[in-house]
Amino acid sequence: MSIANDIAAIPGIIDALEHKRSIDDRKLLLEHAIVFMSHLPPSNPIRQKGQGSVINMLYNDLPHPPASFVGDKYKFRAPGGGGNNIEEPDLGRAGTPYSRSVPQTHPLPLNELPDPGLLFDCLLKRDKFEPHPAGFSSLFFSFATIVIHTIFRTNPNDPSINDTSSYLDLSPLYGNSEKDQDEIRRKDGTGRLWDDVFTEERLLLMPPAVCALLVLFNRNHNFIAHKLYLINEAGKFRDPDTLTDSERHAQDHILFNTARLVNVGCFISVVLGDYMRSGLGLIKEASDFALEPFMDVPQSNNTHLARGQGNSVSVEISPQEFGGKVYSYLNQEKDKKQWKFGGIERHDSRFRDEDLARIIKDATAEAASAFKARGTPSILRVVEILGIVSSRNSGVCSLNEFQKFLGLKPYESFTEWNPDHEIATAAKRLYKHPDNLELYVGLQAEQSKPATGGSNLCCGFTIGRAILSDAICLTRGDRYLTTDWTTNNLTSWGFNDASRDYSNPSFGGMIGKLISRTLPGQFSDDSSYLWFPFYTPETIKKSFTPLGIAGNYSYSRPVALPSPSQIRHRPDVLEAASNTDIHRPYEKKIQTMVGKRPGFFLALNREEDFTYKGIIHESLILPNATKLQDFFYNKTKVALEEHSYTLASHEQKCLDIVEAFSTVITHFVSEEIGGLSLKTHDNPEGKHTEHELKHMLEDMYTHVFVGLEAQYVFGTAKEAKASAEALLKEIKESYQVANGLGNIFERITEFFHKHNKAVFPFMRRLYKTGKPTDQLLNAVLAAIVASFEYIPALVNVVYFYLSPDNGEHRDQLIQLSNSQDPQADEHIAGYIREGLRLSPLLNTAHANLDHKAFPKPKHVDPSRPATEYQLMGDGLFKCFADEFIQSTMVSVIRAVFQLKNVGLGPGNSGALQRFKDADDSTSEYRFLNSKSVITPFPTSLTLQYDA
């Protein structure tokens, strides 16, 4: 009997052959194989081999030993790096010996080796400064200094001991012991560090950019800890002032260690996304490619390349350092909160943003020195001599032994090692034979690689390979970056925040996000200083010009933007809202999206903008006010029904009200404003689904109105421009067909297209105004973009009145919604105005509580005069008349509250997962979307009602 003859097994066999790494177990291949083997005699070799293969596969389905364990002991990094390898917890722990990778077998007698001082003077001492051939800035090496000091800290009393961990755990910031952490942590229940502190005193002797970068990681930790507290994904964080000492300690422990995991993840993303990609020359190619050491690499026999098994840095590539006297000098100032560097002072415990930014900008503009023999500044003579001596005392292998270990060809002559005749001759006189060349000196004085694709570091050939190998081992061997790199450990937001964004302006870099977040307003959003600071601006411009993308960035030294003024009181807000200068940032964004031609009147206060607002009002609203009220009511009724579903009980139905409102608005802008081609059951050939069109509207609205982190500005602007171009093309088609315009070819082509004729009267009224077509189309697009605001505004109103605290008003709204009283609509409109005042989309809550305008401001009073509600923003309420917006909202709210016994859904599904963020100056609340990115718009809210 053959398994191939079993017809039922054939689909499983085919699937296994086509998808060896993703077998569809629904095809029951394993089950068929077991049945097949069961029909064979016990002595049949196929049965024996098949059974062994099945057992091998099943055994290798799980890691042996386990990759990780559950619990805080394994979830968070230990202060000294211990426990990274669960089976060998001391592997890579701070205070353990350096490892040896290559045994020294070639005799290098200490009494026959050249004098260290002579070696420095002949082979290492800089003869002249040469700028780095790939155009690296000095900031690249400032960051490299942090990386080096993260994993190397030779004990001054015992050079075999590494006093820091063997992991890229940002130990210069966090330290290597609980004592170190105690000195920098607030321990106040927020998980934050003291302002602008770090633990690594050695860096105070380095160029100021090194310490400045480390301060940015301090600020990033505090930013992360604060966001984790605000978002509160697990719902377990509370105001520290309300906690007992033990509860506060426990909360601080979780917040600090989670923020540390995320911050270290950001650090690793800089290492891989900026530092390593710069070294490989990938950034100058505008490529998002990077070596991903964490990726799962399948091997044979259903096994995988090991990862997360720990690491120990090797003595062969460890830099040597000063002795104990330097540490004694540095330890004179014990209080880390008082440390200073680069001649800058602290102000209220923090360094000024502009001082740190100046240091970063200076280091970006300054060209780094080239790697080369005779390239070490003479001031480091003592350091290098100590390094040579320490390397000899540790019995480090020769250069050729290291070459062989890496699988590289050993050098047979000194000119092969370095073709520079003077260098090769000096080395030959000192070492006699290439086999005698010491690793420490040989790596530094070796011929440098040329600047080419795949290699921009331009260091020696051997050390270049060693650096890559070390980077992969340091990251792939780290359990917290591999098997324990999970959304459970970092939270969903933290996991996303620490991950590289391949669509950002630096093609997946992270350093720009770090700088813009921690030094707000100090760099323009398009600055090469921000996105590519490891290269000089001239280098980036030269590289991007032939790629055709140089125009996307600016290259002059960034000038700090004026700090935004925070205004909260109602008179100040009203004055700002009418100030033309306030709207200038909007104008630049609008021009990015639709060009400089007029018509897109949102958020602008020019006379021509009011003209186009009037045209939209007269052409769309005035002739159709009653019709559109009916449209909103009927569409809402249909959408509520379409999105409703039953779960366990058929007595109740549920629906996502965000999806329902999205349906209403996408149909509104398609059928009544733009004549857009919406893909529906009746129009399966349409261009956009409701979901796609909603996201197009969201992209455009976000681009114009929402203050974004710099990393999202480019991507959002790109998406908004693409959406605007696509919709303007469709709007133009409807406009031309409605008015019999276009050339003969266009008119014939459009004759065969299915157009939404409901918009034709509107388009014809626009044509009669005599305004230029492109400007009218912009005005129509403005109305479409503004309409998006209906969705979050309506969701806020519904959520506000269905919340338990407003049960009385909910009942009143239900009664009004089912009433035939002609006055009912005005009462509902009053409730809507109050809902928007007390639960606003924009950050105007404080101004909306002005007791002069609103007596008893925290109370819901639907009878307040409508004229007092003036702070509704520059979107929807700037586009349409207040009366129209309120009347259409009344239609929607009436339909929702006509649902029998309507209320919020059960558990978290019936709660808006939102939080208030003091860092956000535009929105009252923030939410997490499906990608765990912070957004000002609600993403889901379940309602429940009786069937």
Look up residue 213 and give its two tokens: 């970068």
Report pLDDT for 681.
86
135 three-class SS: coil
> What span, in angstroms and rounded, lies between the C-alpha atoms of 520 and 934?
18
Place of tokens 């390349």: 305
**Domains of the chain with CATH codes:** 3-60 (no CATH), 139-372+479-563 (no CATH), 570-787 (no CATH), 790-946 (1.10.630.10)
Q: Which residues, 6+ apart, have CB-to-CB distance to 55 below 8 Å?
A: none
CB 683 within 8 A of CB 695: no
DSSP string, 170-205: -HHHH-SSHHHHHHHB--SSS-PBPTT--S-GGGGG
Amino acid type, 296: D
In this structure, what is the dihedral angle of CA atoms 9, 15, 18, 24, given to the nearest 10 degrees?
Answer: -150
E strand or H helix at 898 = none
* pLDDT mean by block of 10 residues, the chain; 947 residues: 56 62 69 76 81 76 77 90 92 93 88 93 93 96 95 90 94 96 97 97 94 98 97 94 97 98 97 94 92 79 78 77 48 80 94 98 96 92 91 92 92 96 96 94 93 88 87 90 94 95 94 97 95 98 97 95 67 62 71 88 74 90 91 97 87 95 96 92 89 95 88 91 96 91 56 69 94 94 93 95 93 95 93 90 69 83 84 68 89 97 92 78 75 88 94
Please say whether the beta carbons of 663 and 656 come within 8 A: no
Distance CA(889)–CA(825), nearest Å, equals: 10
- What are the structure tokens assigned to 763, written together? 């388009």
pLDDT at 764: 95
Q: How far apart are CA 384 and CA 252, in angstroms?
A: 43
- For tokens 């409807």, what's the residue? 734
d(CA 42, CA 50) in angstroms, rounded, equals 12
**Cβ within 8 Å of residue 819, ≥6 positions away:** none
Own/partner pairs for 192-195, CB < 8 Å, 24+ apart?
192/221, 192/222, 192/225, 192/226, 192/255, 192/256, 192/259, 193/218, 193/221, 193/222, 194/336, 194/337, 194/349, 195/222, 195/337, 195/349, 195/350
For residue 655, list its beta bridge partners: 943
Measured between alpha carbons, how far is 107 from 110 in angstroms, rounded to an integer? 9
Tell me the CA end-to-end span of the chain in Å, nearest whole number: 58
Amino acid at 358: R
Per DSSP, the three-state class of 369 is strand
